[in-house]
Amino acid sequence: MEQFLQSPIKELIGRFPALGTILEDYAIGCVPCSVGTCLLRDIVEIHNLSPGDEEELMGRIAAVVAPGQAVAVPRSGRDRAAGPGKVSYSPPMKMLVEEHRRILRFVALIPALTAGLDVESAEGRGRILDAVDFIRSYADRFHHAKEEDLLFACFDEGLEILKAMHEDHRRGRACVQGVLDALARRDAGGVARNLAEYGEILTEHIRKEDEILYPWMDRNLTTRQVGELYARFREVDETFLEAGERYEAFVRSLEGQYLDAVAEVGR
């Protein structure tokens, strides 16, 4: 069984498809994850189930992958948990979660932004370039840089879950490059496709961070680290103050323009 605990989850689900359904029963959504390199051991630990649920889950997994063998993931060192089911973020994590809200407000506007897009006109192209600027400056340089340079640096960079997060960031960047390439070709379909894919990647990525990664990190950061991260994040915010206001105004103006259209699409 130990070998299964050390295996990447996508590989296990590939070999034992029933695992995907079992994990979903415990709100562990590994099946739609596009990366899937996290180890089963880390996934069980990171989701912080109650001891009873964890025992039951491991029993069900064992019955599928290694019938007749009992398994458990040691719970030691995980006692600082605020308790399963309740998500409460430390102040630096709250800052990142608020940034996610702004990014998701933008992502929600992508369908309306690209509907009937005219890439022949300078005005239409400008609209896409503004969106790319928001993604590159706000979502990537500002938010992802906080994560990659400061937050993730508090943890062992060899952790599969961190590699998966880096991979999501990389795929997001590739989509943005795809948008620019399509725009240069005056290919409205390509622009729309790449932006839609960016929206899907980020939506799933933010869900993983909000629900799984950040709560796990909060349980493992020391009080000292929380204070230091908060101070460093605020320093970044200071240097980005004027830009932060500009990007909030950008999202708000897009909402003003497109929210009716979004409601229309949703109807």
Partner 1 sequence: MSGFSGCPGSRMLEFQKEDTPEGAAEVRIASQLRQWPIQLHLVSPAAPYFQGADVLLAADCAAFAMGNFHNEHLKGKGLAIACPKLDEGQEAYVAKIRALFEEARINTLTVLIMQVPCCQGLVALATEALRGSSRKVPVRYVVASLQGEVLQEDWL
Nearer to partner 1, 103 or 229 (CB): 229
Complex with partner 1: residue 183 or 229, whichever CB lies closer: 229
- What is the closest distance, in whole angstroms, from the C-beta atom of residue 21 to Fe ion in the complex? 28
Closest to 244 (Cα-Cα) out of 141, 147, 127, 125: 141
CA distance 161 to 187: 35
Q: Which does 76 bind (CB under 5 to 8 A by kind): Fe ion, partner 1, none?
A: none
Of Fe ion, partner 1, none, which one does residue 267 interact with (CB within 5 to 8 Å by kind)? none
Q: Are the C-beta atoms of 42 and 160 separated by less than 8 Å?
A: yes
- Whether 183 and 153 have beta carbons less than 8 Å apart is answered as no
Distance (Å) of CA 245 to CA 111, 134, 238, 250, 256: 24, 12, 11, 9, 16
Residues lying near partner 1 in the complex (CB under 8 A): 82, 88-92, 94, 223-224, 226-228, 230-231, 234
Q: Which does 224 bind (CB under 5 to 8 A by kind): Fe ion, partner 1, none?
A: partner 1
Binding residues (CB under 5 A) for Fe ion: these are 147, 209
39 forms beta bridges with 8
The interface partner of residue 241, options being partner 1, Fe ion, none and the CB cut-off 5 to 8 Å by kind, is: none
Specify the residue, 42 or 209, whose C-beta has the smaller distance to Fe ion: 209
